[in-house]
Structure 1
Amino acid sequence: HHPLADETGLSPLDAESLARSERRALGFARQVICTSRTTAHRLADGFWVEPGRLTVALPGTDRHPRPAPRDGEPIIVSLGALIPRKGHDVLLTALAKLGGRNWSCRIVGSADRDPEWSASLTELAKALGLSDRVRFVGTTSDPASELRAASIFALPSRHEGYGMVFAEALSHGLPIIACKAGAVPEVVPPEAGILVPPDDPEALANALGDLLDDNERRRSMANAAWQAGQRLPGWNDTAIAVATALEKAAS
């Protein structure tokens, strides 16, 4: 996970207070397990954790069968809790720029972590005239079914300490539209996704439009995504990395 001090929406005072607390806590740790190289670099540079105390244990990803070709109206799916860091406001603004293209979007994720923010997203969708095309699904016990039914995965997160949902999208063979933020470029290879700057709805709309307009490119990226998903570490790999860190801490 990323440091709490890096969470989107914090005041400078709160962010610095969290950073001080996290630096103190990390100072007592004999080993620190990180979910990405990006987070490890962040802890080394900004939280004074020596490289020798850092272990990267990438989260595991389950394998899934190669998906069948997806026909019909393209479905854009976005999985993630409705919090500012996930950038759903940017996604909605970008969707409103797609003009008369054929698409629908399903936003899947809990509204409970920040009810005020979640309500503002619903109002934004209405204000942008997207109510007929965008559905806020809420939480689901079967996110895999959402991924299997989709054509494109889009989540313009402002930061990710790893981004397990991007790994899941790859393993389901979904081309990804996301941002060059945090560890996302570490997870999503260029042949399987289009990464744009954070907080840039125009660039996000262009990326979405490119995939919606080009069926062949979408199929090619979907195939590349599935292949990339097969190369991701499994949970046994994660367990081995964690065990190595524990052995170091005990020695």
Structure 2
Amino acid sequence: MSQNICFFVGNLNLAGGTERATTLIANGLATLDKNVFILNVYGGEQPFFPVNDVIHLHALFQQKVSMKKHALAAMWKIRQFVQQHQIQHFIVVDSISYVFAYPALLGLNIQQICWEHFSFDVDLGQRFRRFGRLLAAKYSDAVVTLTEHDRSQWQDNIASLQAKIVAIPNAVPFPIQATVPSQQHKTVLSIGRLRHEKGFDLLIQAWQQVHAQYPDWRLVIVGDGDEKSNLQQQVESLNLTNSIQLHAATADLSPCYAAASIYALSSRSEGFGLVLLEALAFGLPVVASRCIGPNEVLGSTENSLVEPDHVSQLAAALISTIALPLASYQQRVSDNKHHATQYLPEHILQQWLALFAVGKRS
């Protein structure tokens, strides 16, 4: 009998890494003949990233609501949903949502998994996320972190820990590409939500130094978010409008990577950095902040890691990567593609299947 697996997410219509990672694993499980459901808190009827047609999409609410005011309704709807669809494995995407999932699933014979997408020391000002982590640590069957570092943080810092803590990295969304990037594109690419923690303001500031040495290179930033107007103003104030382009988020990122020479990640904090895997699949040399995720993904490679919030280091790393001799550039391309193979979906899905096989803790 096929397993009934449900992912509980905020809103699959959004364009972030969490939504992309969830979609990728859900699609992969569906191809393995699992019966996959995605239950959105609200929305989700038009997923930003392609979803396999056999996946069942549902939502607790049709529009965004105050979860504090609708907490009891949300819990009741979750409980009804999992009972009606005979869910066996319930994956709560983001620990903040476990606050509502735990009471809803009390007494039910369902494996509860909390899939944490943020670093342990990051809560983005949401005290409910901290509370959700405490509940998940004590009452869920398993907590999935994206890095070994965060797995250790959970184990070392939560006294009430009862759940199994497992590190499963995100899967690379693209196959390893046959095409080879070129320095002749003279383009540095950066992708993500335009929010403060992503540090695009730092990248733009650093680009001022890069542009002074390499005026024929350009920086392309792809994404949407609260900081978009501020970033555009920053570009204009630094007289970089001819050198920096801001593009809207898109579900099809392949052309963006294919047209780039280097990838840059300037986050102030980053739990994993799914875009890094995408860049590696295309072979792009990478310059990234030494946050938890990038440090674990790139630490064993020759790519450049710089201290977060350090503009001069970021600029210097970009300049040195642009200046790589052709042979060194090509070697890094080859090494990056090879490094990305460990994150292919077929490897990551096996880790999820092994976790499902463990089932509920005794």
Q: CA deviation at 1:195?
A: 0.1
Aligned to 1:205: 315
**Deviates most, 140-149 or 216-225:** 216-225
- In the superposition, the TM-score normalised over structure 1's length comes to 0.86
Partner of 1:156: 266
**Equivalent position to 1:221, from 332, 344, 349:** 332
- Tell me the CA shift for residue 17 of structure 1: 5.4
> Match for residue 144 of structure 1?
254
Question: How large is the Cα RMSD of the aligned pairs?
Answer: 2.3
Note the C-alpha offset of 1:167: 0.9
After the TM superposition, which residues 25-174 of structure 1 pair with which residues of structure 2 at under 5 Å, given as runs? 25-48=136-159, 50=161, 53-61=164-172, 62-98=174-210, 99-101=212-214, 102-111=216-225, 115=226, 117-174=227-284
Q: How many residues align?
A: 241
> CA 1:49/1:172 → structure 2, altered by over 3 Å: closer, same or farther?
farther
> Could you tell me which amino acid in structure 2 is paired with residue 104 of structure 1?
R
1:79 shift after superposition? 1.1
Correspondence 1:180-191 to 2 at 5 A: 180-191=290-301
Letter in 2 for 1:127: S
Deviation at 1:63, TM superposition (A): 2.2
Structure number, greater radius of gyration: 2
Correspondence 1:19 to 2:130: yes
Distance 1:90 1:237, change over 3 A: same
1:75-127 CA distance string (max 9 Å, x none): 0000111111211111011101121313111101122xxx2x22111111111
Structure 1 counterpart SS, 2:250:
coil
1: CA distance between counterparts of 2:165 and 2:185?
A: 46
Structure 2 contact 202–266 (Cα < 8 Å) conserved: yes
Query: Distance in 1 between the 2:160 and 2:358 partners?
Result: 15
Q: Percent identity?
A: 21
1:181: Cα distance to partner? 0.5
Q: CA deviation at 1:210?
A: 0.6
Provide the C-alpha distance between the structure 1 equivalents of 2:306 and 2:296, rounded to a whole number of angstroms.
14
| 1:185 to 1:52, Cα distance in 2 relative to 1, 3 A | same
Q: Which has the higher helix share?
A: 1
Deviates more, 1:26-35 or 1:133-142: 26-35
Task: Identify the structure with the greater strand proportion.
Answer: 2
Bigger relative contact order (CA 8 A; separation at least 6):
1
Q: Is the 8 A contact 1:32 1:55 kept in 2?
A: yes
* Preserved CA contact (<8 Å) 1:35 1:161: yes
Counterpart in the other structure of 1:195: 305
CA distance in 1, matches of 2:161, 2:151: 10
Normalised by the size of structure 2, how large is the TM-score?
Answer: 0.61
**SS of corresponding position for 2:336:** helix
Please, which runs of 5 or more residues in structure 2 have no aligned partner? Answer: 1-116
Aligned to 2:37: none
Q: Does the 8 Å CA contact 2:120/2:154 hold for their aligned counterparts? A: no
Q: Which residue identity is paired with 1:63? A: P
Instruction: Name the aligned partner's letter for residue 194 of structure 1.
Output: S
Q: Among residues 113, 117, 122, which one is paired with 1:6 in the alignment?
A: 122
Letter in 1 for 2:264: A
